[in-house]
Amino acid sequence: MTRPRIRVAAYVIRNRAVPELLVFDHIGMPAAGTQVPAGGVEPDEETEHAVLREVAEETGLSSATVVRRIAVEDKPHPDTGQPRRTTFFFLRDDAGLTFACRFLPLPLRRPLADEQDAWLGHIDPLWTTMPGYRD
C-alpha cells in the first residue's frame, strides 16, 4: 500500500462585521479553483509549523496564529488519485493585508476547490466567540 502524502490546510479567519476566510486563486489557472493555503509537510516537521509556513509562503501573511486543529482527512488527490492525508487547522489573523489574497464572508456562497471547505462547519462556534465578532 502506498503511503499518503502528508499535508496541511489553513482556515485563516479574521474578524470584521462578518467573519472572513482567507482564500486565493492561481492566476492563469482558473481550473484550479478558489483555495485556502495548503501544502506538504516536510520530513520531521510538526504540522502546526507546516501550516504556518504554508500560509506565509502562499500569502505572505506572517502574523497568523494557530487556534487549533480541526480535522484530519484521508482523501486521494483529485487528479492523480494518489493517497494523501490533510490536517486542517483553524488560524486567526486580524492584521491588515498588503498582498493579493482576499477574504470571503462566511458562510461561503460557493464551495472551495477540492472540497477544501468541508471542515469549516467545525469552527463556526469558535469564530462567533472571537473578540471583535459582531452579530
- The parent domain of residue 121 ranges over 5-127
Q: Rounded to the nearest 5 degrees, what angle is found at the Cα of 118, between the Cα atoms of 45 and 66?
A: 40
Asked, for residue 134, whether it belongs to a domain, the answer is no
Q: What is the pLDDT of residues 75-113, one digit of tens each?
A: 998 889 999 999 999 999 876 544 456 778 888 888 888
CATH number at residue 110: 3.90.79.10
Q: Which of 64, 44, 43 is nearest to 53 (CA)?
A: 64
Asked, for residue 77, whether it belongs to a domain, the answer is yes
Asked, for residue 24, whether it belongs to a domain, the answer is yes
Rounded to the nearest angstrom, the gap between the alpha carbon of residue 106 and the centroid of all alpha carbons in its chain is 14
User: Residues near 65 by Cβ (< 8 Å), separated by ≥ 6?
Assistant: 91, 92, 93
Asked, for residue 133, whether it belongs to a domain, the answer is no
Domain count, the chain: 1
Q: What is the pLDDT of residues 4-14, one digit of tens each?
A: 999 999 999 98
Asked, for residue 132, whether it belongs to a domain, the answer is no
pLDDT of residue 4: 92
Asked, for residue 72, whether it belongs to a domain, the answer is yes
